Structure 1
């Protein structure tokens, strides 16, 4: 069963909450999927049952078409945020990590064509493999946060927070003005370009530059 942990391995004594995801926050990713640029942050939610440990083998659902990787900076909320400003939002962050927003792309494309929500493509069990968290005091939110993922030794995604259309703090402010973020919730901040299908047997190397790296496998 999933539990929040720091990169030290210490468990974090917080409940397992919702995962608030931000879509289309990197312009190059918007272009690669030929999507429209949203006028405000595009939000959707994964339930707590979507969370799993990224260090464990990653399960790809069978019989639903292609499942794409979407690597994202993840923000662990440590304090209740309601109608927050950037100062209180910053104080409300407990740690940063990396997550995969696994996406059943064929399912999502059909849902979009039908004008329906994305949950069937985005919110299935174990659709959010999550790393351990770097304590917020050990990472500078104001500087470039770089991350990457290689698949079978070949670089597939490379991101930098400087390329976000909406910064981490502005996202937390925006989200908290719509609904409350609670301790134990996680916010995924969008994926850069380089999404693509994962296959059974793929080896993944995931890195938050200067902080940690994780190796995992698709089953």
Structure 2
């Protein structure tokens, strides 16, 4: 598994971590979690460079959330923190596109977030970096620019829950398969995205992807 097509074609699910950066939780007025907050995007969410980002029908408030993605290399079930890093094949960057108005409505009624988070094309992904290319994933910088202007920028060492903690917790309940992606949360700076916007995101000096909003 050495390319984007490898994990995109293998993945059975995209496990996402909510509120894993304190500044992002606070910007949306949310409580800081005491344990990892998990939800899932289905694989219809994946799009790659050259494909447009399209808001779902009726969405009036589409947000971008740049995230470091962990790509699983081998079947992982009930693993320990001490072994967790050995299950990682590599890394990617992704946008967790969120129909914020859909999500806000769902929260008010106590309904699931599925349509807000898992609509077609809601997970634009960049390239693949082998694990050896990022010896310490807690010491890289995420960035997201909209129309050339910085919108999000943060180092990964400020995540509330580190990657071994996330993998140990998730695999207590859900088996991760080769190619599955774990999105590790987004820092502050999410904002409304409009038709015609160009979103560039990645890991500074390592990986960049660019998408246009239709």
TM-score w.r.t. structure 1 length?
0.91
Matched, 1:41 2:36: yes
In the TM superposition, residue 168 of structure 1 has moved relative to its aligned partner by 1.3
Match of 1:61 in 2: 56
What does 1:32-181 correspond to in 2, within 5 Å? 32-141=27-136, 143-181=138-176
Match of 2:3 in 1: 6
The alignment yields a C-alpha RMSD, in angstroms, of 1.7
Of the three residues 190, 200, 211, the one matched with 2:185 is 190
Q: 1:90 to 1:29 in 2, by over 3 A?
A: same
Aligned residue for 1:99, secondary structure, equals: strand
Alpha carbons 2:64, 2:191 under 8 Å: kept: yes
Aligned residue for 2:89, secondary structure, equals: strand
Q: 2 CA distance for matches of 1:143 and 1:107? A: 32
Alpha carbons 2:198, 2:210 under 8 Å: kept: yes
Q: 2 CA distance for matches of 1:30 and 1:215? A: 26
Alpha carbons 2:16, 2:40 under 8 Å: kept: yes
In the TM superposition, residue 57 of structure 1 has moved relative to its aligned partner by 2.2
Alpha carbons 1:84, 1:176 under 8 Å: kept: yes
Q: Flag structure 1 segments of 5+ consecutive residues without an equivalent.
A: none
Q: 2 CA distance for matches of 1:187 and 1:94? A: 12
Alpha carbons 1:55, 1:214 under 8 Å: kept: no
Aligned residue for 1:12, secondary structure, equals: helix
Q: Flag structure 2 segments of 5+ consecutive residues without an equivalent.
A: none
Per-residue CA shift, 1:24-67, capped at 9, x if unaligned? 00000011000011221100011111111145322222422211
Q: 1 CA distance for matches of 2:53 and 2:122? A: 9
Alpha carbons 1:6, 1:132 under 8 Å: kept: yes
Q: 1 CA distance for matches of 2:117 and 2:185? A: 13
Aligned residue for 1:86, secondary structure, equals: coil
| Structure 1 outlier segments of 4+, above 3 Å | none
Match of 1:204 in 2: 199
In the TM superposition, residue 120 of structure 1 has moved relative to its aligned partner by 1.3
TM-score w.r.t. structure 2 length?
0.94
